[in-house]
Structure 1
Amino acid sequence: MTLCVALLIAAEFMPVSLLTPMATDLQATQGQAGQAISVSGFLAVATSLLVATVASRFNLRHVLVVLAATMLLSLVLVAEARSFPLLMVARALLGITIGGFWSLATATLMRLVAASHVSRALGVMYMGNAAATAFAAPIGSYLGGWIGWRGVFWALVPLAIINVAWLWMSLPSLPPRRAIPPSRVLGLLGRPHVRRAVLACMLGFAGAFAAFTYLRPFLEMRSHVSVGALSLLLLALGAAGFVGTSAATALLQRHLFRLLWTVPLALGLVTLMLVWVAPQWLLVAGMLALWGALNAAAPVAWFNWLAREVPDEPEAGGSLMVAAIQLAIMAGAGLGGALLDHVSIDATFVGGAGLLLLAAILAARPARMQSGR
């Protein structure tokens, strides 16, 4: 499951490091190419709202393997895309895997390990997130200059094949336990603490991805970095994700609710700092490392909140949370692209920071995000 997470993150956000050559090759603007992330988010939203209902009728092991195979198909189609519409179709298929896998991941871990080990298991799985964030973007940027952006996606295909086979062999049988009607997913919004948490989570992810999606044009336009320097900067950002994931996992037991508001607050401030220090690439490197650590901590905190505060409905809760996150990513990437195309790259980062600060304000009252309060 950790490998599948790494591949999902790499496949979903690889366009961040390849945005410029992809846009040029497909005759699209950089803002339009950024929508390749948005369309996967759109399908992820739809899938995540339905997958709990569908998966509740089948063996969960089979569902996860089918989702991994869908990701494999998406990678092949992206690598072969000769037009922007075909690229969008391929990214839509990836969105199905993203929505399905992430929605079921927490519930799956809750069935695989004892309740006392769920936080640790989530931390291990999110190391796949940190690994992909650390290496996918810089390696993609570097290899893109040698084998082209299509070659980068082809390089992921063998790993995806291995992942499908590994999931099939390693996961135990997880037969369905109870039917989950679609109304149960959205019905969770009737709980006040869930409603507030979902909105705070959405604002945080939208703000982060309004900026993250357009890091390459920001570094090229404002910091004037070369492709080699770009790869090193993205590596610094990604490698810091290991620190952020580990730190968040260590702090969860005693400081979960504090993390939910301090992380977006700090991330918003660092995003604004990037605009200010953009011409000084050494300072940019430091800010990007801090940004990467904070960004990696956010999903660990939110999915542990889900396991702790919605323990009676892990499948429905996972579906709702993933739908909210993917909708936020889609909206954030769309907003960032619009600001880039019609205002400036600085406006993209300022807009993202504003959303992050709103998320911090909303999450700053922990009692409002606890069940029974």
Structure 2
Amino acid sequence: MDLRLVWLALGTFAIGVEGFVIATLLPAIAADIGVPIATAGYLVFAYALAYAVGAPVLSATTGRFDRRALLAATAVVFAVGAFLAAVSQGYWMLLLSRLVIAACAGLYAASAQAAAVTLAPAERRARAVSIVVAGTTMAVAFGAPIGAFISGFAGWRGTYFAIAAVGLVTALAIWIMLPSGIKGDRRSLGERLAVLSVPGIVPALLTILLYMAGPFAAFIYLGPLTQSMGLAAGLLPFVMLAYGIGAAIGNTIGGQLADRFGANRTVVLAMITNAVFLALLSAIPAVVPQALVGPVYFAFMFVWGITGWIFPPAQVSRIVALAPNAAPLALSLNASFLYLGTALGAVVGGQIIEHVGIDELGLIAAVFPLLALAVFFATRPRPVLRPRLG
């Protein structure tokens, strides 16, 4: 294995930790800075929106820069953003810090994958990209739970200090390990967006937006959800660990299912099962005896992680099949729409908690995977019927 790819993956690991651990930090953040939990949830909305919009724009404007210098600088600014978040004294400073982090996260993820393609020989490029992306998977499975554990004894600010440290280590490693002269993608923003004209791409992107809005409407508010089950806040790191391990397994299974049964069948399976699990999330405290809520909830989070995360690799397969000649650009937009879905989920979840009640969160969130399913079936290509001759 090329060790340079491991250091690139460390950056995606840091990004993933910050992006997912926030779900366990929101109650502490809300209490510390004196805002309602729904208002704290808009920190996720701002982050996701900045990532979705910033990634293609910044990638286009920095395409001429050397990748080593760009990645190292981006990691440093990411670390500065995490440090500012750690020392922030109010809501708006924390919001601004997360916007900085999000912009760097989107630029780093796109640039790291492009650098991995350049560093690897042609026959190993897919594997090289998978190593960089694996940093995110490891962040979900282990990094976010570790961040939650850190917050347990050092507070949410301690978690951000740790993230800042990882960002600095990444910047130093990239500067030392990567060669200079790695060229970027010089295509303009217009050229990058031209992939939207490929038949089927827009419906596929709308599908992932709606799909991600459902689970993230609930996942972002994992802290108050766990407490609504009658469980102690101190169990949050273990809840996150159960979900994260399930997500890592689901990510692997999703790729295997897509290869064996087809990407379209796999995403349909994911949309249906995710809607079912979100609906069941609202049913746990109502139908499960309180003495069994803890074990059932942990098992539920583990299985939900599996079923929820079979979607992303299958969606990647769909995107590549739709635009094989522009796969990197299409996948970049796929990531942007994924985060737009996260942003939508943050808003929807906050509004549900504020105006309906957390007990109904999963049931209402289940509508979004079903909407994604409706878009999928409404826009899939229809077979051409040919008249019989004779």
* Alignment TM-score, normalising by the size of structure 2: 0.86
- Tell me what 2:195 maps to: 188
Offset of residue 366 of structure 1: 9.3
Aligned pair in 2 of structure 1 residues 346, 110: CA closer, same or farther (>3 Å)? farther
Give the letter for the 1:295 counterpart: G
Matched with 1:249 is 255
1:203 to 185, 206, 210: 210
Change (3 A) 1:113 1:196: farther
CA offset at residue 308 of structure 1? 4.2
Q: Secondary structure at the match of 1:312?
A: helix
Q: Deviation per CA, 1:142-169, whole angstroms, max 9, x where unpaired?
A: 3323211111211222222111122223
- Determine the structure 1 residue equivalent to 2:164: 157
The partner residue of 2:241 within 229, 235, 241 is 235
Superposed CA offset, 1:161-210 (max 9, x none): 11112222333446436631221233222222111111111111111211
Q: Alignment partner of 2:310: what SS? A: helix
In the alignment, is residue 47 of structure 1 matched against residue 54 of structure 2? yes
Distance in 1 separating the partners of 2:246 and 2:308: 9
Cα deviation 1:299-322 (Å, max 9, x = unaligned): 333334444433433453244222
1:139–1:227: structure 2 CA closer, same or farther, 3 Å change rule? farther
In structure 1, give the amino acid aligned to 2:365: G
Q: 1:361 and 1:123, CA in 2 relative to 1: closer, same or farther beyond 3 A?
A: farther
Residue 343 of structure 2 is matched in structure 1 by 330
Structure 2 partner of 1:298 = 311
Residue equivalent to 1:17: 24
**1:218 has 2:201 as partner:** no
Cα deviation, 1:243-299, whole Å, max 9, x if unaligned, reads: 112222333433333222222221221111121123522222111101112333333
What's the Cα RMSD here? 2.4
Counterpart code for 2:346: A
Residue identity over aligned pairs, in percent, reads 24
Please say if residues 116 and 129 of structure 2, whose CA atoms lie closer than 8 Å, have aligned partners that are also in contact. Answer: yes
2:140 partner letter? T
8 Å contact 2:114–2:184 — kept in the other structure? no
> Does the residue aligned with 2:52 lie in a helix, a strand or coil?
helix
Instruction: Say if 1:152 and 1:361 are closer, same or farther in 2 by CA, change over 3 A.
Output: same
1:335 & 1:152 partners in 2: Cα distance? 26
2:146 maps to which of 139, 148, 169: 139
Largest Rg, 1 or 2? 2
Aligned pair count reads 368
Distance of 2:137 and 2:202 partners within structure 1: 28
Look up the match of 1:63.
70
Q: State the distance in 1 between where 2:68 and 2:308 align.
A: 30
Which residue of the partner structure matches residue 370 of structure 2? 357
Residues 321 and 103 (structure 1 numbering): CA distance in 2 closer, same or farther, change over 3 Å? farther
CA positional deviation for 1:93: 0.4
Instruction: Return closer, same or farther for 1:307/1:104 CA change in 2, 3 Å cut-off.
Output: farther
Residue deviations 1:190-248 (CA, integer Å, cap 9, x gap): 22211111111111111121111011111101x11113333222211111122112222
Identify the residue that residue 4 of structure 2 maps to in structure 1. Answer: none
**Which secondary structure state, in structure 2, belongs to the residue aligned with residue 58 of structure 1?**
coil
Between 1:211-220 and 1:320-329, the stretch displaced more is 320-329
Please, which of 2, 6, 30 is the counterpart of residue 13 of structure 2? Answer: 6
Asked if the contact 1:120–1:249 (Cα under 8 Å) also holds between the matched residues in 2, the reply is no
- The alpha carbon displacement at 1:70 in A equals 2.0
**1:176 and 1:258 mapped to 2: Cα distance?**
38
Shift of 1:106: 4.4
Gaps of 5+ in 1: none
Shift in alpha-carbon separation, 1:307–1:162, aligned structure 2, 3 A: farther
Which region of structure 1 is more displaced relative to structure 2, 327-336 or 168-177? 168-177
1:287 aligns with 2:313: no
1:113 corresponding residue in structure 2: 120
For residue 75 of structure 1, what is the aligned residue in structure 2? 82
**What's the CA shift for 1:50?**
0.9
**CA distance in 2: counterparts of 1:238 and 1:178, whole angstroms:** 33
- Does residue 1:126 correspond to 2:139, yes or no? no
Question: Once structures 1 and 2 are overlaid, which stretch shifts more, 129-138 or 109-118?
Answer: 109-118
Distance 1:319 1:138, change over 3 A: closer
Q: Sort the Cα spacing of 1:310 and 1:212 in 2 relative to 1 into closer, same or farther, 3 A.
A: same
Deviation at 1:33, TM superposition (A): 0.8
Displacement, 1:77?
Answer: 0.5
Question: 2:116, 2:323 → 1: CA distance?
Answer: 15
1:69-102 Cα shifts (integer Å, max 9, x gaps): 2211111001001100000010000110222133
What letter is aligned with 1:75? A
In structure 1, give the amino acid aligned to 2:308: N
What does the per-residue CA deviation read over 1:305-356, in whole Å, with 9 as the maximum and x for residues that have no partner?
A: 4444334334532442222122221111111111111111133222321111
- Distance (whole Å) between structure 1 residues aligned to residue 122 and residue 203 of structure 2: 25
Verify the 8 A CA contact 1:106 1:318 in the aligned structure 2.
Answer: no
CA distance in 2, matches of 1:50, 1:250: 33
Give ranges in structure 2 of 5+ residues lacking alignment.
Answer: 1-7, 383-390
Is the Cα contact below 8 Å between 1:79 and 1:151 reproduced in 2? yes
The counterpart of 1:98, out of the listed 102, 105, 111, is: 105
